[in-house]
Amino acid sequence: MANDKKMVDQITSMDEDFAKWYTDICKKADLIDYSSVKGCMIIRPYGYAIWELIQKNLDGRFKETGHENVYMPMFIPESLLNKEKEHVEGFAPEVAWVTHGGSEPLQERLCVRPTSETLFCEHYANIIKSYRDLPKLYNQWCSVVRWEKTTRPFLRSREFLWQEGHTMHATAEEAEEETIRMLNIYADFHEKDLAIPVIKGRKTESDKFAGAEATYAIEALMHDGKALQAGTSHYFGDGFAKAFDIKYTDRDNKLKYPHQTSWGVTTRMIGGIIMTHADNNGLVLPPAVAPVQVVIIPVQQHKEGVLEAANALADRLRSRFRVKVDASDNSPGWKFSEYEMKGVPLRIEIGPRDIAEGKCVSVKRYNREKNFESLENIEETVARRLDEIRDGMYEKALENRQRRTYDCTTLDEIRDSIKNGGDGLVMAMWCGDEECEDRVKAETGVGSRCIPFEQKHISDKCVCCGKPAKHMVCWAIAY
Amino acid sequence: MANDKKMVDQITSMDEDFAKWYTDICKKADLIDYSSVKGCMIIRPYGYAIWELIQKNLDGRFKETGHENVYMPMFIPESLLNKEKEHVEGFAPEVAWVTHGGSEPLQERLCVRPTSETLFCEHYANIIKSYRDLPKLYNQWCSVVRWEKTTRPFLRSREFLWQEGHTMHATAEEAEEETIRMLNIYADFHEKDLAIPVIKGRKTESDKFAGAEATYAIEALMHDGKALQAGTSHYFGDGFAKAFDIKYTDRDNKLKYPHQTSWGVTTRMIGGIIMTHADNNGLVLPPAVAPVQVVIIPVQQHKEGVLEAANALADRLRSRFRVKVDASDNSPGWKFSEYEMKGVPLRIEIGPRDIAEGKCVSVKRYNREKNFESLENIEETVARRLDEIRDGMYEKALENRQRRTYDCTTLDEIRDSIKNGGDGLVMAMWCGDEECEDRVKAETGVGSRCIPFEQKHISDKCVCCGKPAKHMVCWAIAY
């Protein structure tokens, strides 16, 4: 068990230094590495395998709802970026500029895409002519670049991986439906597959995407009481269509502007998994995106029949689960802590006595629950345990969020709640005035995260000015 | 049939203008579109779906052979690119340079990766310490940028999609084995799945990858008699390891340099599919990478039971094949030419008389072979037809290559062969002298493509200087 202790000691405790705990996990669970490219990260095989599982799951959901994948150039000519005024103002300050090709200066500089609305719009102007061409439901998996000053693995880096959906519809209603449909897909994926409870809502005017008419987001509460925006879906109306002169002939033979959406999630979700589920022993992965769902550790593996039994068990499980047997020379204790660090959802131990009794031991990573399992029907048992793990992880995260959600009616209540209960989500009424929104942040520290779809009546009055309230807003310190 | 004629007329004939025929297919089969980003292309849903099938197939083969995917930053600091001298000399003239982040100039300019050897090496220097860390078998799917002057969709563009494998091994032997293993996987994929016969061989010294000790390639013959380099695999020895100070402690406790490989294939393969299989009616896709493998066209679809029968047939086939029913209002003739243009391997027609007789008609895209098929066991029949299509396409391409492969013993013979038989592959002996290699090209037009693994004895003497020959070389005009 000496080894076990040694590994765990390598992580800073969450309570001591949350930021360091976070980066320790990113490094020690072999998710990322740094390089001489400042502000960018290397996603290592274990981290990338999580991303591949995320991609596969979401890509399936996108295709089921009629979306098609495309690939656009990674560069955007400056003149193209400039076509939609609000959009360029939002992004120009944080893009990387290519100015030379080989040894020659370019006639027009190109930015590395921070997002691809402009490219999609230029393409849509080419290919959308008639109502028969609508809707267009495109998605792209790629990397984008935003020249951030302060960066953290997965949460904020100069280059990150994402998907960006860009769709065009005949009517505003259809486009609005699409915006919400995709937000719901993101929410469902987070809750069912990542076991992360989310709050769906609309962003306030001040927090909208550059060029959007409405931005919707899902927000999740992290271990440290801060909120993470985990996915966004934007409704653009026909603003870009007008700027890019995208028109279609409708059934009534009139020329009309189509209505547009875009929506995206990024590798940031991996940061969300860490800060929702991980603990002081390392990563804790939800089964749906765990590269290894079940690790089998042979105990007293030098004894006759142990390795064979472990491998036979793995063979039985392999058709349904991602399984690994660790038959290396390391001690079982070292292995236990290694796979705890890696966040493998279920550990199975099997030794001579278990084999004699037709049994094995299963241990859940997230709560260390230990069960003696019959080897009969072990496939069904493992399936049930993994379901229990997903459900248990979700419940635990939901309880944490409920415990740290404060309904407040005054700025003092907000300050007191945070002071006594720690950072968390504040639910409080708002008059809709941007000045109040700013004052809440300036005076209490929490900013508006979204106007939740599920509204609660906390009081009649704005938490800030006392005038009649329009919405309940979710406020928090955000990543 | 009027519509049929109209669509087919839109393609330039291959014999009239091969380059235009090629780009016509790229555009009319909805594979790509252009944008205001010069030298880059938009890969449209149908083209991208082909790429996804290519990726899925190859990724499976890579993982089966123990490779893991990672993601490296897209930028390379100039100082890092400069670390390996030959490598930087090869790539610096054709990279895109990022010089500004937001409004500020960067302290050190960054190139957009043209390939990622330098980044992998920097990372490997961090993570390889002991023989236990070897081999490292990494692969990356990403886009890369090379600032080409003249560009053509899929064949040569400033940005393209590819995979780049980068592996590190304890010994030279292991690394050499890996280099050949991956070349073989590329060759097998081309022959079995893309139905493209390839010649495996080693590049001459003058044609090696910048920084490699040996470069291996697969070469394929295109419709116009030119050769396409369809995939490459490089053996680096320990050159980069020394430049990047990558060392490991071996079992004998001595510090050693590991040996390295890299290998890659790109979206260029889609260009290879077009120029090997397509015809004057459009694209012809091999079943393995066809987004739609079987299109079902209802004939007299307004008659009772026809659409139902078409859909029932699709339902039966869907679990095993990628199937589409086109029940649109367009005429059957229009649909026939549309799916010929798109290269769908097998068309099934089903009308009232077929239904009454328990039959349907199948038509192979590549040779228009028509068969009356019983609806009993149609799943097995379709599987057999698709296999026949793959085999037939391969045989057709192989025959074409054999017909246009010329064994030559003098420069005059080379010139005459090309003049009389058209461009093609020339097999001729070579003394190994670079001067002769250059002279063959200058005097006949064909350059050395590779030294095929399968050597034939054509004569004892170099085709150029008449001195004793070392190798048979495959020569051709190349893309």
Asked if residue A283 belongs to a domain, the reply is no
Please check the confidence at residue B34 and state whether its pLDDT lies above 80: yes
The minimum CA-CA distance between B100 and chain A, rounded to whole Å, is 5
Asked if residue A396 belongs to a domain, the reply is no
Mean pLDDT, to the nearest integer, of B79-103? 90
CATH code for the domain of B347: 3.40.50.800
Between strands B136-145 and B68-69, the pairing is: parallel
Q: Does A105 touch chain B if contact means CB atoms closer than 8 Å?
A: no
A306 and A360 share one domain: yes
The minimum CA-CA distance between B142 and chain A, rounded to whole Å, is 8
Q: Does B105 touch chain A if contact means CB atoms closer than 8 Å?
A: no
pLDDT bin (cut points 50, 70, 90) of residue B210 is: confident
Please state the φ and ψ torsions of residue A337, each to the nearest 5 degrees.
-75, -30
What does the CA dihedral B297, B300, B306, B310 come to, rounded to 10 degrees? 0
Q: CA distances (Å), A242 to each of A83, A89, A263, B145, in order?
A: 10, 18, 20, 32
> Which pair of structure tokens corresponds to residue B62?
């890579």
pLDDT of residue B427: 98
Which of chain A's residues have a Cβ under 8 Å away from the Cβ of B35?
72-73, 119, 122-123
Asked if residue A436 belongs to a domain, the reply is yes
List the beta bridge partners of residue B86.
none
> Using CB atoms, which residue from A40, A43, A159 is nearest to B70?
A43
Sign of torsion, CA A149 A151 A156 A158? positive
Q: Does B1 touch chain A if contact means CB atoms closer than 8 Å?
A: no
Distance CA A181, CA A455 (A): 19
The minimum CA-CA distance between A126 and chain B, rounded to whole Å, is 9
Which of chain A's residues have a Cβ under 8 Å away from the Cβ of B92?
102
pLDDT of residue A84: 83
Distance CA A64, CA A53 (A): 17
Asked if residue B9 belongs to a domain, the reply is no
Closest CA to B222 of B404, B27, B395: B404
**C-beta separation of B373 from B362 below 8 A:** yes
Domain that holds residue B27: 14-277
The verdict on pTM exceeding 0.90 is: yes
The minimum CA-CA distance between B56 and chain A, rounded to whole Å, is 11
Distance CA B211, CA B454 (A): 26
pLDDT of residue B2: 40
Contact between A110 and B37 using a beta-carbon 8 Å cutoff: yes
| Tens digit of each residue's pLDDT (9 = 90 or more) over B195-208 | 999 999 999 999 99
> Using CB atoms, which residue from B75, B93, B147 is nearest to A37?
B75
Neighbours of A75 (CB within 10 A): 25
CA B455 to chain centre: 24
Closest CA to A394 of A287, A291, A270, A294: A287
> Using CB atoms, which residue from B45, B98, B159 is nearest to A70?
B45
Asked if residue B2 belongs to a domain, the reply is no
pLDDT of residue A166: 98
List the beta bridge partners of residue B77.
B110
Distance CA A118, CA B212 (A): 40
pLDDT bin (cut points 50, 70, 90) of residue B91 is: confident
Contact between A99 and B102 using a beta-carbon 8 Å cutoff: no
B193 and B255 share one domain: yes
Asked if residue A286 belongs to a domain, the reply is no
> Using CB atoms, which residue from A48, A95, A143 is nearest to B102?
A95
Contacts from B362-368 at CB under 8 Å and sequence distance 24+?
B364/B388, B364/B389, B364/B392, B365/B284, B365/B285, B365/B339, B365/B340, B365/B389, B366/B277, B366/B284, B366/B392, B366/B393, B366/B396, B367/B392, B367/B396
CATH code for the domain of B159: 3.30.930.10
Please state the φ and ψ torsions of residue A475, each to the nearest 5 degrees.
-115, 145
pLDDT of residue A451: 98
**C-beta separation of A259 from A177 below 8 A:** no
pLDDT of residue A234: 98
pLDDT of residue A9: 57
The residue from B277, B310, B325 where one domain ends is: B277
Please check the confidence at residue A54 and state whether its pLDDT lies above 90: yes
A376 and A429 share one domain: no
The number of domains in chain B is 3
Please check the confidence at residue A3 and state whether its pLDDT lies above 80: no
**Bond into A332 cis (ω within 30):** no
Mean pLDDT, to the nearest integer, of B306-314? 97
Asked if residue B284 belongs to a domain, the reply is no
DSSP classification of residue A288: G
B386 and B409 share one domain: no
B140 and B271 share one domain: yes
| Tens digit of each residue's pLDDT (9 = 90 or more) over B439-477 | 999 999 999 999 999 999 999 999 999 999 999 999 999
Helix (H) or strand (E) holding B4: helix B2-9
Please check the confidence at residue B4 and state whether its pLDDT lies above 50: no
Q: CA distances (Å), A250 to each of A126, A169, A236, A242, A254, in order?
A: 16, 12, 20, 16, 5
The residue from B248, B277, B306 where one domain ends is: B277
Please check the confidence at residue A6 and state whether its pLDDT lies above 90: no
pLDDT bin (cut points 50, 70, 90) of residue B5 is: very low
Contact between A98 and B77 using a beta-carbon 8 Å cutoff: no
pLDDT of residue B435: 97
pLDDT bin (cut points 50, 70, 90) of residue A75 is: very high
Helix (H) or strand (E) holding B141: strand B136-145
Contact between B98 and A102 using a beta-carbon 8 Å cutoff: no
Asked if residue A399 belongs to a domain, the reply is no
B133 and B257 share one domain: yes
Distance CA B288, CA B195 (A): 9
Three-class secondary structure of residue B454 per DSSP: coil
Distance CA B261, CA B137 (A): 9
| Tens digit of each residue's pLDDT (9 = 90 or more) over A151-189 | 999 999 999 999 999 999 999 999 999 999 999 999 999
Q: Does A112 touch chain B if contact means CB atoms closer than 8 Å?
A: yes
pLDDT of residue A5: 46
B332 and B418 share one domain: no
Neighbours of A63 (CB within 10 A): 13
B323 and B464 share one domain: no
pLDDT bin (cut points 50, 70, 90) of residue B3 is: very low
Collect all residues with Cβ–Cβ distance below 8 Å to A457 and sequence separation of at least 6: A472
| Tens digit of each residue's pLDDT (9 = 90 or more) over B123-141 | 999 999 999 999 999 999 9
The residue from B277, B308, B338 where one domain ends is: B277
pLDDT bin (cut points 50, 70, 90) of residue A464 is: very high
Three-class secondary structure of residue B453 per DSSP: coil
pLDDT of residue B7: 52
DSSP classification of residue B399: H
Q: Does A107 touch chain B if contact means CB atoms closer than 8 Å?
A: no
Contact between A45 and B68 using a beta-carbon 8 Å cutoff: yes
Q: Does B50 touch chain A if contact means CB atoms closer than 8 Å?
A: no
Contact between A161 and B93 using a beta-carbon 8 Å cutoff: no
- Summary mean pLDDT of chain B: 96
B230 and B127 share one domain: yes
DSSP classification of residue A385: H
| Tens digit of each residue's pLDDT (9 = 90 or more) over B330-354 | 999 999 999 999 999 999 999 999 9
Contact between A52 and B70 using a beta-carbon 8 Å cutoff: no
ipTM over 0.90: yes
**C-beta separation of B222 from B269 below 8 A:** no
B306 and B254 share one domain: no
Collect all residues with Cβ–Cβ distance below 8 Å to A77 and sequence separation of at least 6: A108, A109, A110, B36, B37
Distance CA B69, CA A44 (A): 8
Please check the confidence at residue A354 and state whether its pLDDT lies above 70: yes
B46 and B103 share one domain: yes
CATH code for the domain of A410: 3.30.110.30
Residues of chain A with pLDDT > 70, as a percent, come to: 98
Between strands B104-112 and B136-145, the pairing is: unpaired
Residue in A28, A31, A35, A48 to test binding to B, most B beta-carbons within 10 Å? A35
Closest CA to B346 of B273, B271, B290, B272: B290
Please check the confidence at residue B430 and state whether its pLDDT lies above 50: yes
Mean pLDDT, to the nearest integer, of A437-463? 97
Neighbours of A387 (CB within 10 A): 11
Q: Does B97 touch chain A if contact means CB atoms closer than 8 Å?
A: yes
Q: Does B244 touch chain A if contact means CB atoms closer than 8 Å?
A: no
Q: Does B123 touch chain A if contact means CB atoms closer than 8 Å?
A: yes
Closest CA to B53 of B289, B249, B313, B231: B289
> Which pair of structure tokens corresponds to residue B227?
């050769």
Please check the confidence at residue A478 and state whether its pLDDT lies above 70: yes
Distance CA A9, CA B229 (A): 52
> Using CB atoms, which residue from B71, B92, B102 is nearest to A93?
B102
Q: Does A125 touch chain B if contact means CB atoms closer than 8 Å?
A: no
> Which pair of structure tokens corresponds to residue A61?
């959901």
Residue in B27, B33, B70, B245 to test binding to A, most A beta-carbons within 10 Å? B70
The minimum CA-CA distance between B137 and chain A, rounded to whole Å, is 10
Sign of torsion, CA A415 A421 A423 A429? negative
pLDDT of residue B84: 83
More confident residue, B88 or A280: A280
> Using CB atoms, which residue from A42, A48, A159 is nearest to B123?
A42
A271 and A317 share one domain: no
